[in-house]
Amino acid sequence: MSLTVLTSAHRLSSLCRLQRIRGHMMSSQAQPEVLLEKVGRAGVITINRPKVLNALNLTMIRQIYPQLKKWENDKETELMIIKGAGGKAFCAGGDIRAVTEAGKVGDSLAEDFFREEYILNNAIGACRKPYIALIDGITMGGGVGLSVHGRFRVATEKTLFAMPETAIGLFPDVGGGYFLPRLRGKLGLFLALTGFRLKGRDVQRAGVATHFVESKKIPDLEKELVDLKSPSAEDVSKVLESYQNQSGLDSEKPFVLEKHMSDIDRLFSSGSVEGIVQNLKADGSEFANKQAETLSKMSPTSLKITFKQLQEGATLSLPEVLVMEYRLSQACMRGCDFYEGVRAVLVDKDQSPQWNPSTLEEVSDQTMEQCFSSLGEKDLTF
């Protein structure tokens, strides 16, 4: 069999697979994937794919965005609430498996998904009305983008937060370059590079959530919020604070990273990822060794992109960060680590990605420059 025939056959099978996945990504199943309801004077968005931990796809983005804009301009709607169905996850991330399948065969989904997701992230950040994300469960990647830029983010003991993208050859996108460098000290950089997971009350202590409320109180909280008459942001804040004050669970436990904060600030203060790795190895403590080991498993290209992304993002506005991140998303689609990371972690699940280049030293400044370069007329615009 000739190579051409093999390539054509492979391309055909990739296309068939993509059509299936596109169908899944753009699906209109019997059960709506997003519920958009008006309850009292509140617009309520429910992410409704519990079987896949409420993973976000393009169809859902295309439903949420226009509704958000409509409610923002509707005099009868005074606040917005977003939550996840099923009790396990708020939203465990974007449906990136479909995005990589699209990227392999040059399908436009690889551009459309990131572009429209980032436009939605920006709309949440710019929303003029109180926007309350009830992040009661797993909240990662794309789920962070649906919540963290809103005015209010309510964590519960079931919340599990992470930006684990460096492990799959991506970077903490959806505005990670904006909110992560604004967390205290070097905490954001630490979370971005290592993908460290925060749970429950620690999500609020880190500054990712604004409030902590026990999971069993969330239905009552939601009812009280939708019953508010002409609420200002301050009115919403008072309700959230009153529920937080009734939630004593884990309040006596210190922040999980408290005893490591001075180490994080010291070890992650360097002008490069190589410098951070050097600091960690030289330190030799159990904590430092663990972080060095974690970083050694991540995509070297992703680590370098993420370091520069947060460095730049520290002084940019959210829209400017999202323009930068869209350029980076397309650089990842042009590269190979994102495909390899998704294969190793999500498809074959062998957890043994073969990164290329395989060391930090081999990732050139020129490569970095290309990743951050303008896409000209293909740049993200709002």
Q: How far is CA 347 from CA 54, 100, 313, in A?
A: 18, 11, 32
The 8-class DSSP code of residue 184 comes to S
**Active-site residue, 107 included:** no
Contact 106, 339 (CB under 8 A): no
Of the residues 173, 214, 263, 337, only one is catalytic, namely 173
CB proximity list for 31: less than 8 A, separation 6 or greater: 48
Element (H, E) at 236: helix 233-245
Of the residues 43, 142, 150, 341, only one is catalytic, namely 142
Question: What six digits make up the tokens of 254?
Answer: 């210190």
Torsion over CA: 199, 205, 208, 209 (sign):
positive
Q: What angle do CA 86, 59, 219 make, to 5 degrees?
A: 25
Of the residues 78, 165, 263, 340, only one is catalytic, namely 165
CB proximity list for 66: less than 8 A, separation 6 or greater: none
Of the residues 93, 94, 177, 195, only one is catalytic, namely 94
Distance CA 43, CA 350 (A): 42
Q: What φ, ψ does residue 78 adopt, rounded to 5°?
A: -115, -15
**Active-site residue, 271 included:** no
- Which residues is 89 bridged to in the sheet? 138
**Active-site residue, 142 included:** yes
Catalytic sites, residue numbers? 94, 142, 165, 173
